[in-house]
Amino acid sequence: MNYPTPPINRLPVELLQQVFLLILNDVQGNPSIFSFGDTCISADVASPPLLLTRVCRLWRDIAHSTTAIWSRIHVALPGRIQPLKPFLPSLLEVWLARSGCRPLSLSIVSEQLCYSRDPEARFLPWLRPYQSEADCRLLEILLSVRGRWETVAIMSPAIYDWSGNIDTPRLRTLKCFLREFRRFNAPNLHCLHIFNRSDFPAKPAPICKDIRHLRLQHTCVNAIRFTSVIFPHLETMIVDDYSLGSGDRIDTVAQPRLKSMTLPLTSDRQEFIDILDGFHLPMLQKLTVVVEELRPLEIECIMAALAVATCREPTVDLKMATPPSEVDIDVVEPLLLVAKEVTVCGKVLEDPVRRAPVL
């Protein structure tokens, strides 16, 4: 029996390729290659792009020839899950081959740490995945195309015993743990996100020369100040959490190109002031401060920190759960003595009486 051709299959191949790309763009993060059961691992044929190859012969042929839909991949390493079916390494090799010569976006995680409902659990430094032979085989396949890595996220600690430096000439964005970061030789790296506690070595590595955007998930006051030595060309810096730490303090530091800085205001307000004390920030345009609640004490702390830093009056953005409409203008207004503008979650505050921005 001859069935009529579906209308979508009458579209030119180029349009169908664009449809496939739109489908992949709706996938949060990188598309997964593997699916895990209780005791086994298989191909993730329920999600694109593998799903697109199972609709019909036409879609399979078009999907195989569309290199862009294969240039992103999320690989969950099986670890203790056994057995690893023989075709799975071949599937990974075929997936990468279908991406042609395109730059790759890659994320790697240990499946052993995916069971936790807490998304931060996989970043805990005392959790160490078991390095199985299957993991090593999959990682060797990924390393064979490291010359095309452009965006990489290694989201589990110590997943591989890196024997030497990893040459990645096209790498521009890296998310990883400090141990893995030290192994990368990436002269074009511009964006760096380090998951675990970041106490940097005294001698900067060549990788660091051109990093423009830095995010530190867990660090210390001295490490934040030491970024002026290791990352001299930063334009943005985000710190999620910090503590006092130890080591010798650098009295005077400078980030001559830093335009945006994000810091949480912790319960120890003196630590916040210590970060900016003697910090030369001539290009700083925006200081984002993450606060749990906004009281006069928090405002005084921010003012004290800006008073001991060397910077022009930046915009101070208060990142908090309280909606801008519920913020007490009288509490915030003293900040205008040291700030060009005050915003809450990016929105300029308005005086409810004057209906004018607080400038």
**Which 3-state string (H, E, C) describes the chain?**
CCCCCCHHHHCCHHHHHHHHHHHHHCCCCCCECEEECCCCEEECCCCCCHHHHHCCHHHHHHHHHCHHHHCEEEEEECCCCCCCCCHHHHHHHHHHHHCCCCCEEEEEEEHHHCCCCCCCHHHCCCCCCCCCHHHHHHHHHHHCCHHHEEEEEECCCCCCCCCCCEECCCCCEEEECHHHHCCEECCCCCEEEEEEEECCCCCCCHHHCCCCEEEEEEEEHHHHHHHHHHCCCCCEEEECCEECCCCCCCCCEECCCCCEEEEECCCCHHHHHHHHCCEEECCCCEEEEECCCCCHHHHHHHHHHHHHCEECCCEEEEECCCCHHHCCHHHHHHHHHCCCEEEECCEECECCCCCCECC
pLDDT of residue 162: 61
Residue 285 has pLDDT above 70, yes or no: yes
Q: Tell me how far apart the alpha carbons of residues 296 and 259 are, in angstroms, rounded to a whole number.
A: 26
pLDDT of residue 159: 66
Work out the mean pLDDT of the chain and round it to a whole number: 84
Q: How many C-beta atoms surround the C-beta of residue 242 within 10 A?
A: 24
Question: Mean pLDDT, to the nearest integer, of 317-321?
Answer: 92
Confidence tier at 354 by pLDDT (50, 70, 90): very low
pLDDT digits (tens, 9 = 90+) for 107-122: 998 865 544 434 444 4
Confidence tier at 243 by pLDDT (50, 70, 90): confident
- Is the C-alpha dihedral spanning 32, 36, 40, 42 positive or negative? negative
pLDDT of residue 116: 41
Confidence tier at 160 by pLDDT (50, 70, 90): low
Residue 358 has pLDDT above 60, yes or no: no
CA dihedral 172, 173, 175, 179 (to 10 degrees): 20
pLDDT digits (tens, 9 = 90+) for 41-93: 888 999 999 999 999 999 999 999 999 999 999 998 887 556 567 788 999 99
Nearest in space to 327 (alpha carbons), one of 301, 351, 309: 351
User: How many angstroms separate the first and last alpha carbons of the chain?
Assistant: 74
Enter the pTM of the model: 0.84
